Amino acid sequence: MSAALDVIIVGSGPGGLAAALLAKQHSRSFLILEKGGQTMQGIIDTYPKGKKVYPTKPKSYPDPFPVMEVKPPDENVPVEAYVEQADTLVKDFGLNIRHNEEFLSIDGDFPNYIVKTDKGSYVAQNIILAFGSNIPNDLGIYGEAKTVARNIENGEDYIGINVLVIGGGNAAADVVSSLSKIKREARDDGTSVYWAHIKETFEINKDTARDLGEEVLLGGHIKILQKAIPKIGEVDADGIDRLYIHQTHSAGTGNDMYMYQGMSFPMKNVIACIGTHGPSAIFDALNLQQITCTGPICKIAKEGERLLMLSDHLETSMQGIFAIGGAISPSYMEIGPDGVIKEKKHSNLIYTAVLDAQIVMEKILAKDNAMAGG
Ligand SMILES: Cc1cc2nc3c(=O)[nH]c(=O)nc-3n(C[C@H](O)[C@H](O)[C@H](O)COP(=O)(O)OP(=O)(O)OC[C@H]3O[C@@H](n4cnc5c(N)ncnc54)[C@H](O)[C@@H]3O)c2cc1C
């Protein structure tokens, strides 16, 4: 087998690319494994076409943006331009990416880990898990069909049909304003984008809200359904899979009866942006220590959820294996130098993924220097 690489990076999103660039700048040997056919495949798969990318920095985090080459431009370019920026970066710096190669497992021990993929295996001293967090949540309703989309592949497909977008966060808001814009710009499209959220309030950031407000003011056909509950999947008389949702039910009418009033949409006209769940099962398979949230320990994760344990340099319980970016959002368990473990909030943003990459590479370089110095 060939000599050990300094770092294997799993995933070519903003976090993985930033780590690769820093490795290159410090003359470390590295390889990025990307299961998709393109750099930034995760972003390509999850952002609506034309969605603006914001260089949002979480409150209280330091300026400037950690690795400027990966920063989305301040003028909020569409996602296609951001992906192009990444392609140029890869080309200009000669970053070594194996596309269409999926990371599967890790064998061996530090400093000679064997990283297995669907195409072969590599030896590496350090591994950075930057595979994002894009395992979509289920609607959790009886009869859910696989035909419910998770994002828009082609917005034009929705011209002339009423579409239902489910979800109360930024991803849903982005889909709603993109679809509304496409419909508004199409001639004679009198149909609407129905936007349903299970709660009364929506949780979207300022930039997304601004886009949405602009779309409403420009005459977008957006109909908001608060406290709307996806109820059941059913097949109608024409054999079409439909999703039924309702907003309120009248008080029980006695005899255990409830009255519902609702709407139903063909599942193929439903886009569910209801978040993703973390890669806990993958961390388990890699034998990385996770801690279960119990009692008041966790404020972000729910009781019973398992969070990856990481040092303040994002090193897992196995030396030389790090996890960054979306893969550790929205929170992880940080074990401080004093041994105290606490839940740490980790916003799923490009900024945080890139900052993580910087923190990890600093740690790897410092370890190397310490070893070289004896
Ligand atoms: C709709 C939407 C809009 C958003 N808008 C913004 C925004 O405007 N500004 C902002 O800051 N953030 C935004 N975000 C969040 C931002 O995209 C993420 O925080 C960021 O992409 C995380 O980067 P990452 O490198 O950790 O992971 P990702 O970007 O998810 O990249 C992970 C990569 O790993 C690859 N991968 C996964 N599994 C494997 C495997 N087993 N083997 C090999 N490769 C693998 C994936 O294909 C993917 O390319 C948005 C998110 C969504 C969903």
- If we measure between CA atoms, which residue out of 94, 154, 65 comes closest to residue 352? 65
Q: Higher-confidence residue: 216 or 49?
A: 216
Calculate mean pLDDT across residues 291-317: 92
pLDDT of res. 1: 52
* Centre of ligand 1 from the C-alpha of residue 38, in Å: 13
pLDDT cut 90: percent of the chain above it = 65
Q: Does the C-beta of 56 come closer than 6 Å to ligand 1?
A: yes
Q: Does the C-beta of 129 come closer than 6 Å to ligand 1?
A: no
Task: Quickly state the pLDDT bin for 175 (edges 50, 70, 90).
Answer: very high
pTM of the entire structure? 0.76
**With 60 as the cut, is the pLDDT of residue 336 above it?**
yes
Q: Which of helix, strand or coil describes residue 260? A: strand
Q: Does the C-beta of 41 come closer than 6 Å to ligand 1?
A: yes
**With 90 as the cut, is the pLDDT of residue 253 above it?**
no
Give the ligand 1 atom nearest the CA of 16: 25
* Centre of ligand 1 from the C-alpha of residue 255, in Å: 50
* Centre of ligand 1 from the C-alpha of residue 329, in Å: 11
pLDDT of res. 144: 60
Nearest 5°: CA angle at 333, between 329 and 338? 140
Q: Higher-confidence residue: 146 or 355?
A: 355
Q: Which of helix, strand or coil describes residue 223? A: strand
Tell how strand 290-292 and strand 121-129 pair up: unpaired
Atom 48 in ligand 1: residue holding the nearest Cα: 42
Task: Quickly state the pLDDT bin for 238 (edges 50, 70, 90).
Answer: confident
Q: Higher-confidence residue: 275 or 222?
A: 222
End-to-end, the C-alpha distance of the chain in Å comes to 27
pLDDT of res. 146: 62
Tell how strand 121-129 and strand 113-117 pair up: antiparallel
pLDDT in tens, 67-85: 999 999 999 999 999 999 9
Q: Which class is domain 155-272? A: alpha beta
Alpha-carbon torsion angle 226, 229, 233, 234, nearest 10: -80
Every domain of the chain and the residues it spans: 5-135+303-372, 155-272
pLDDT in tens, 123-157: 999 999 999 986 677 777 766 656 788 778 788 99
pLDDT of res. 181: 93
Give the ligand 1 atom nearest the CA of 102: 42
pLDDT of res. 187: 81
Check if 5-135+303-372 and 155-272 are the same fold.
Answer: yes
Residues 6+ apart with CB under 8 A from 105: 115, 116, 285, 286
pLDDT cut 70: percent of the chain above it = 95
Q: Which mutation among 79, 350, 352, 359 tests ligand 1's pocket best, with the greatest number of atoms within 8 A of CB? A: 350
**With 70 as the cut, is the pLDDT of residue 280 above it?**
yes
Q: Which class is domain 5-135+303-372? A: alpha beta
Calculate mean pLDDT across residues 340-346: 94
pLDDT of res. 270: 93
